């Protein structure tokens, strides 16, 4: 499914020798705002990082096809800029964080927009040297007096619903990561250049001395490297980086594939790639957000937390809990709900959430999750019968048994659970059983049709 959002650009983005890098934006709090005006202190690194984010956006790593034309998302916060994208297959999430020391100018407004990284701009960025002055203006001067009603160069940017779901899933998944390894740039260069570019299987990286050793089996302390060739976009940034840090969840011997984040950092910016658990899996289908979205109070809590969000570099969950009067767990569920509208992301380097704004409504975005829609339809149809720690769920012509385990997870007799064994979130039958068991109700606006 594609959600076509209409964006308008005044002109092409361009690198102008006398003016610097002019990124055409597509709107924000006011028509064509100037979010930022100034220089970047590491121009070569910024150019390489932005090219990497754009390269990910135009690449399908699984079953490659012709390049897509998807524009990265840029967010101006209180003291930094963030550029984000997903690959065409939604299995790689890329982000360039330009940190406060990388910014030599004024962030005049807060907001999020798509930026037009076209072929002429790509060529210009590729010629930016390490010490070349680079001025970044997010929106030219006259954007403040131009509206969408004028004779602008209009361009529809097909922002897929998979991107929106991917933002939410990546936020939840990466919030469970911890730092697992850190190596110097020399070791990072050796590792990234010896990776098999065509490798689509799952490898594991184990800290070994000052470097990382690759193996085919998981062990405690290892970091999953699924589809090693997907890290190729990091290579051009190596000449500016000082450190490679790797993040992921705890694993044990026999663990299945999991997502991981690989981050190159320089003194003023960070470029990171987050890889889905397997090359064929897109973040949009991971199901990490479903249980948080199923709660009846999540939408109301999200409205409250959304009103309290500020454009601080990171979102303090404990402070929001105090301000809102909600438990921290409900604050996190509310942030997940806001994540379905693209309003919240997670920064593994700072172990904190950050604020962004995309033109989507949280309640509408939640309906883009088919399993959640299906679960609510089952509840509406009265298809769930609770029997102690088990439930019977009628779905179409089939009847499935859902069982609650001691660790608060569920099993189900449906084909989905048999295939994924809970690794991609709950099936709709388990989700419906949880909703009925905890007293949640279905959204009355959801369709009542129950699909098998």
Q: Where are the chain's structural domains?
A: 2-168, 177-283, 290-364, 369-437
* pTM of the complete model: 0.81
Residue 8: phi and psi, rounded to 5, are -125, 135
Mean pLDDT, to the nearest integer, of 149-164? 49
Residues in the chain: 452
Query: Which of the pair, 359 or 382, is modelled with greater confidence?
Result: 382
Provide the pLDDT confidence category of residue 449 given band limits of 50, 70 and 90: very low
What pLDDT shows up at residue 65? 54
Cα gap 425→422, rounded to integer Å: 5
Structure tokens at 424: 């991609």
In CATH, the architecture of 290-364 is Orthogonal Bundle (1.10)
Which is it for the CA torsion 337, 341, 343, 347, positive or negative? positive
Domain 177-283 has CATH 1.10.155: no
Q: Identify whether the C-beta of residue 266 lies closer than 8 Å to the C-beta of residue 242.
A: yes
- Name residues whose C-beta falls within 8 Å of residue 110's C-beta, 6 or more positions apart in sequence: 29, 35, 76, 77, 78, 311, 355
Structure tokens at 253: 């011997």
Mean pLDDT, to the nearest integer, of 270-291? 84
Rounded (to 5) percent helix, strand, coil in the chain: 30, 30, 40
Structure tokens at 31: 């028509």
What pLDDT shows up at residue 8? 58
Angle at 105 between CA 99 and CA 109, to 5 degrees: 85
Provide the pLDDT confidence category of residue 145 given band limits of 50, 70 and 90: very low
Domain 2-168 and domain 177-283, same fold? Reply is: yes
Domain 2-168 has CATH 3.10.150: yes
Closest CA to 157 of 74, 95, 233, 77: 74
* Beta pairing partners, 160: 2
- Name residues whose C-beta falls within 8 Å of residue 358's C-beta, 6 or more positions apart in sequence: 73, 112, 164, 167, 341, 342, 343
């Amino acid at each position: 499914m594609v959600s076509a959002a209409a964006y308008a650009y005044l002109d092409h983005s361009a690198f102008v020798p006398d003016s610097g890098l002019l990124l055409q934006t597509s709107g924000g709090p006011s028509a064509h705002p100037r979010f930022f005006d100034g220089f970047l202190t590491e121009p070569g690194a910024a150019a390489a990082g932005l090219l990497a984010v754009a390269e990910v956006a135009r690449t399908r790593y699984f079953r490659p096809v012709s390049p897509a034309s998807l524009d990265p998302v840029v967010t101006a916060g209180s003291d930094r800029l963030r550029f984000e994208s997903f690959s065409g297959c939604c299995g790689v999430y890329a982000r360039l964080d330009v940190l406060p020391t990388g910014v030599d100018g004024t962030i005049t407004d807060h907001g999020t927009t798509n930026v037009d990284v076209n072929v002429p701009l790509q060529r210009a960025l590729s010629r930016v040297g390490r010490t070349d002055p680079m001025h970044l203006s997010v929106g030219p001067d006259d954007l403040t007096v131009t509206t969408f009603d004028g004779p602008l160069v209009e361009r529809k940017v097909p922002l897929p619903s998979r991107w929106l779901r991917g933002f939410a899933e990546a936020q939840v998944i990466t919030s469970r990561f911890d730092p697992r390894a850190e190596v110097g740039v020399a070791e990072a260069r050796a590792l990234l250049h010896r990776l098999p570019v065509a490798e689509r299987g799952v490898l594991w990286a184990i800290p070994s001395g000052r470097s990382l050793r690759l193996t085919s089996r998981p062990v405690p302390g290892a970091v999953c490297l699924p589809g090693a060739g997907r890290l190729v976009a990091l290579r051009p940034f190596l000449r500016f980086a000082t450190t490679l840090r790797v993040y992921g969840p705890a694993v044990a011997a026999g663990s299945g594939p999991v997502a991981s984040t690989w981050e190159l950092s320089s003194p003023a910016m960070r470029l990171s790639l987050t890889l889905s658990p397997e090359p064929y899996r897109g973040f949009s289908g991971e199901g990490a957000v479903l249980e948080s979205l199923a709660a009846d109070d999540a939408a109301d809590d999200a409205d409250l937390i959304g009103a309290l969000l500020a454009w601080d570099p990171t979102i303090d969950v404990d402070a929001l809990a105090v301000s809102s009067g909600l438990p921290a767990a409900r604050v996190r569920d509310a942030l997940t709900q806001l994540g379905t509208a693209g309003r919240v992301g997670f920064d593994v380097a700072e172990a904190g959430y950050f604020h962004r704004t995309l033109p989507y409504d949280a309640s509408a975005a939640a309906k883009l999750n088919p399993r959640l829609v299906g679960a609510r339809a089952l509840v509406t149809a009265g298809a769930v019968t609770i029997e102690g720690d088990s439930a019977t769920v009628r779905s179409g012509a089939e009847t499935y048994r859902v069982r609650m385990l001691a660790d608060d997870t569920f099993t189900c007799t449906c084909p989905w659970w048999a295939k994924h064994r809970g690794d991609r979130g709950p099936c709709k039958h388990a989700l419906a059983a949880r909703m009925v068991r905890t007293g949640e109700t279905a959204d009355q606006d959801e369709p009542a049709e129950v699909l098998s």
